[in-house]
Amino acid sequence: MHLSDTRKFYGLITAPWNTVPAAIILGCLFLSANAPESWARSAGELDREIRKAERFDINHEGNRFELLGDFEGTTIIFKVYDPAEIKRGALKLPSSNSNYRGEIAVQRIAGFLGITIFPATVYKSLDKKTAKKLITVLQAKKFTTSRKDHHRRGIENKEKNRKEALRRLHTEANPGGCFKEWVENIQFVSALGTRENLGGHQVMKYLKADGPMPAEGAAVLKQCTSLMSEKGCFTGSIEWLRLARNISDMMLVDALSGNRDRFPGGNVHMRSLDGIRKRGPAGIHFPRVELLALDNGATFLGQQSGSLDDLTGRKVASTRVERFVKGRYEKLLELQELVRTDPAEAREKLFLREFRDPAGRRIDMFGQLAGNLAAVLDYMERNREKFGSRTILP
């Protein structure tokens, strides 16, 4: 059995318009008595998925494209099927509120630092035949609504993005977008998906320099929903240390990339590491999970994002992260050296592009990374000076 398509794709927001009504969706985090063995997605596994995505021919004449639905984010995303009708990934086109270049850069920056919770994401250029296929799909669908609630604006924005995608596909010689791996068995976790919820969780005490180190055993992430197409409750077991590491890593990369859309409610997920899901009286359980940092399009957009404030706790004090995974600080120094001494190599290696947004403003991704990196290192160095080795997660 599989989760519905709204929860299979790494980069897809599974809560409509990034909003998770508290009365409908509940999340909680509690301690499990049985601690599973240590786990995480390996760098080698992620690298293999990246290579697979790079090798996939997006312009093969036998591919089929299916547009995701009304409540599956506001950006224009296509499920991509190969000639054998196997889902191979998702293609995300540019939109007014999402930077597909940022999706690629985020994964590369995370990889440079040794972080593997961001999805395999690569660039794809579309030829005329593929563009024509996508035009046909987009012309057959219009996003309209008679709703008066908070979903209305999202649907209206999606229709604007559909029209913008059509314009680009009609006028650009080789329109581009990002292509992401397709992953089964994931579920959003609203208990970690807002600043207030995350800040109130037990795991955050493990990320304070004066707090205890993560406890032995495992946490269980739980998500109950009556909103999504597969209704019910989902749980996933994760070591407390792994959970602390994942959150620290996610918020670190968000600060570097200026992510302004991590905490609307449905943009933090858990992923079954081995694809196993067990159904019982209480719902579906994933025996081994780690967090997924999903939907990284709201990055490198040029505006003040507030993600550094999330890391430092200036926005919500309880989200302050003072502990970072062992070796991350040294890799950040290495990244800073690359940025300072070889800007051209850094731009190429990390996919840091210059472009103009829909308003015509020049966006310099390299400049944004350099500034954010300096601010993050300054914050970490002040913590290290004050707390010493207590700032390090094993």
Give CA–CA dist 248/280, Å, rounded: 32
Do 214 and 337 reside in the same domain of the chain? yes
Do 157 and 191 reside in the same domain of the chain? no
Do 152 and 293 reside in the same domain of the chain? no
Please state the domain count of the chain: 2
Do 21 and 158 reside in the same domain of the chain? no
Do 232 and 359 reside in the same domain of the chain? yes
Single pTM value for the model: 0.87
* Amino acid (1-letter code) at residue 325: V
Q: What are the start-end ranges of the H helices in 114-233?
A: 128-139, 151-171, 195-199
Q: Domain of 197?
A: 5-40+184-393
Given 181, 212, 230, the domain boundary residue is 181
Give CA–CA dist 154/144, Å, rounded: 10
Do 167 and 209 reside in the same domain of the chain? no
Do 305 and 367 reside in the same domain of the chain? yes
Do 216 and 331 reside in the same domain of the chain? yes
Give CA–CA dist 105/38, Å, rounded: 29
Each residue's pLDDT tens digit in the chain (394 positions)? Answer: 333 333 333 333 333 344 444 333 334 433 333 433 446 888 999 999 999 999 999 999 999 999 986 566 678 899 999 999 999 999 999 887 789 999 999 999 999 999 999 999 999 999 999 999 999 999 998 888 777 766 677 787 888 888 989 999 999 999 999 999 998 888 999 999 999 999 999 999 999 999 999 999 999 999 998 765 567 899 999 999 999 999 999 999 999 999 999 998 888 999 999 888 999 988 999 999 999 998 899 999 987 678 899 999 998 999 999 999 999 999 999 999 999 999 999 999 999 999 988 778 899 999 999 999 999 999 999 999 999 999 999 9
How many Å separate Cα 60 from the centre of its chain? Answer: 27
Locate 103 and state its tokens. Answer: 């999706």
Do 159 and 199 reside in the same domain of the chain? no
Do 175 and 146 reside in the same domain of the chain? yes
Tell me if 285 sits within 8 A of 235, measured CB to CB: yes
Given 142, 164, 181, the domain boundary residue is 181
